Amino acid sequence: MWSRRAQEYEAKINSGDLILVSEVVRDLFRTEAQPEQSYSERQLYELALDRMSREVAVVKKYDDKQAIEEMEIVMRGSKYRIPKEDKDDDKSTEAAA
């Protein structure tokens, strides 16, 4: 299953669509409390983060490093972040609400 998801993530990253790239960043982001990523997950995360940070840096007039730091702060503190294993359960709960 990972090889199929990795291909989908790579297609999203290469699409040039910032929304699709941000989905990859969101899905592959890990906090210190979460298990470590595999090498290939980390590579895809860094590629997506790099592409997204360049867009954010241009808009906010930051350098890439500042953009990455800001994005990671936002992702760490997001109350809307759903742990990967609970996504499907929460979607059905949200749909019912």
Of residues 52 and 83, more confidence is placed in 52
pLDDT band at 30, cuts 50/70/90?
A: confident
Q: What is the Cα–Cα distance from 60 to 54, expressed in whole angstroms?
A: 10
Taking only the tens place, the pLDDT of each residue in 8-28 is 999 999 998 999 999 999 999
Task: Please name each of the domains of the chain with its CATH number.
Answer: 2-96 (1.20.58.1290)
Torsion angle, CA of 46/52/57/63, rounded to 10 degrees?
10
Mean pLDDT over all residues of the chain? 82
What pTM did the predictor assign? 0.72
